[in-house]
Structure formats: C-alpha cells, structure tokens
C-alpha cells in the first residue's frame, strides 16, 4: 500500500450570491399613479331618433288637442262659451288667431301674413335641425328643448297651411298678468291693461318649455366656462434628460 498522505479537503468558500435586483422606476411609483388617466366612458351624441320621437309626440298632442277643441268647444253657445277648469283663472275657449304672438300681423293682408309666417317657420325648423346635429353629449337641456320647439312649430305651421289661422283654446287669467301689463303700459303708451293672457294652445306650451330649456343650457354653459379644467395627473418622480432618476 502507498504511504502517501490522503488528499486534504479544501474548505469550500462562501457560495456566490447574486447582487440584489435594483427596483425599477415603475415599481417606485404607486400603482394609482401608474394607472392611465381615464374618465367615464364617452357618452353617445344625441340621436335623431330621439329628436324625431319627442317632436312627433309634441306634434300629435297639439294636433289632437286642437281637433278636440274645434269639435267640442265650437258647440258652446254665446251664453256659456267656455269650459271653466279653475274659476276666474283657467278655462277653455275656442279662438282663431290669424296673426302671431300677441296678435302680430293680425290685421295684415293674407298676401303679407301667410308668406311671412311660412318663411319664419321654415327658417326656424332649419335652424333647430341644424343646431341639434351639432349637440354635444352633455347638452341634455337642448336635447329635450329643440325637439319640443320643433313639434310646437310644426303644429302651428300646419294650422296656417290648412286654415290660414291658428287654433287657440287655453284661456288664462291672473293678477300678476295685470301687474305686468301695468308696468309695460308705463313704458309703452296705449298698452292695454288686462289680467288676461293671450289665448294659447299646446304647441305654444311646447315652444315655451323648449325655449326655457334652451335658455337653461346657455346659462349652464356660461357657468361651465368659468370653471378651470381639472389638472392632469402629475408624475410623482421626475426624470432627467438621460432617463435616469435624479440623485437623492
């Protein structure tokens, strides 16, 4: 046997440990800040289907109510010409208006009155349709107001084409109307003082509601212009031109 000494074992050195991974810049930013700035999903623009449905409902209500008024109220006698709904305030009385609001062009000749109202109505309808096509998703007041105005305008226009006059049958009286007329009479000499509002119809109600909604949209839009737009998400960590994080 060999007398050579057994091989000595070399003590193992420490195992090689990989250096700790440096955290990425994206990991240092809170997850909330890394999320893309996304608001609510975009709303669809107002559709012409909705526009047509609302305008059609307004037109049907006006035409049917006028047909009822002409059928029922025309049979009333001079002794009892009205159907009283609220005593001394609201009643239904049949009337034919050859002019416009407050008797505009009431006594003008047919050669002037008819083309004038037809032209004004056609321009108003074209303007309403054009304006509705440019509405933004958030303009809810105009979304309802424009078709209401259109339905009312078409109702009165159909009367002028068929009868050359508009059927009115809603008769309203109130003390505040007399007070208003007294104030107007101080500025306009010869203005009649009465507590009676000019007789109107369902089309006029639709037009007034629609114009009121249009005015509301203008008021809300002006208020919105005074509010500063919200600030965007600012980065929590800035980077230098080289793309490296700044030194602490």
pLDDT in tens, the chain (248 residues): 555 555 555 555 555 556 665 655 555 555 544 555 555 566 778 889 999 999 999 999 999 999 999 999 998 888 888 999 999 999 999 999 887 766 666 666 777 787 888 888 899 999 999 999 999 888 999 999 999 999 999 999 999 888 888 999 999 999 999 999 999 888 888 888 899 898 999 999 999 999 999 999 988 877 655 544 454 444 444 444 444 555 55
Question: How far apart, in whole angstroms, are the C-alpha atoms of residue 19 and residue 1?
Answer: 49
Q: Which of 62, 159, 171, 204 is catalytic?
A: 204
Nearest to 90 by CA among 154, 211, 177: 177
Distance from first CA to last CA of the chain, Å, rounded? 69
Question: How far apart, in whole angstroms, are the C-alpha atoms of residue 62 and residue 208?
Answer: 14
Q: Catalytic annotation on 204?
A: yes
The length of the chain in residues reads 248
Q: Which of 62, 159, 168, 171 is catalytic?
A: 168
| Separation of CA 83 from chain center | 35
Contact (CB, 8 A) for 68 and 167: no
Q: Catalytic annotation on 168?
A: yes
Interacting residues of 198 by C-beta distance below 8 A, sequence separation 6+: 101, 102, 103, 168
pTM: 0.70
83 φ, ψ (degrees, to nearest 5): -100, 110
Q: Give the pair of three-digit tokens for residue 167.
A: 């059927």
SS3 content of the chain, % helix, strand, coil (to 5): 50, 10, 40
């Amino acid at each position: 046997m060999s007398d050579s000494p057994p091989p000595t074992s070399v003590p193992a050195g420490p195992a090689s440990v990989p250096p700790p991974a440096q955290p990425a810049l994206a990991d240092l930013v809170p997850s909330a800040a890394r999320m893309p700035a996304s608001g609510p999903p975009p709303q669809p623009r107002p559709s012409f289907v909705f526009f047509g449905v609302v305008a059609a409902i307004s037109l049907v209500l006006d035409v049917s109510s006028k047909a009822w008024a002409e059928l029922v109220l025309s049979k009333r006698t001079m002794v009892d010409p009205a159907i009283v709904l609220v005593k001394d305030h609201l009643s239904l009385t049949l009337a034919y208006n050859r002019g416009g609001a407050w008797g505009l062009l009431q006594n003008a000749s047919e050669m002037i009155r008819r083309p004038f109202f037809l032209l004004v109505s056609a321009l108003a309808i074209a303007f309403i349709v054009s304006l509705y096509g440019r509405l933004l998703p958030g303009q809810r007041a105009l979304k309802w107001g424009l078709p209401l105005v259109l339905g009312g305008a078409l109702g009165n226009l159909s009367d002028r084409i068929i009868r050359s006059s508009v059927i009115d049958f809603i008769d309203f009286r109130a003390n505040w109307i007399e007070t208003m007329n007294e104030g107007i009479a101080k500025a306009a000499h010869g203005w009649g003082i009465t507590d009676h509002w000019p007789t109107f119809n369902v089309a006029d109600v639709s037009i007034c509601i629609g114009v009121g909604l249009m005015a509301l949209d203008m008021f809300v839009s002006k208020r919105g212009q005074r509010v500063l737009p919200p600030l965007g998400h600012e980065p929590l960590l800035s980077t230098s031109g080289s793309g490296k994080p700044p030194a602490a």
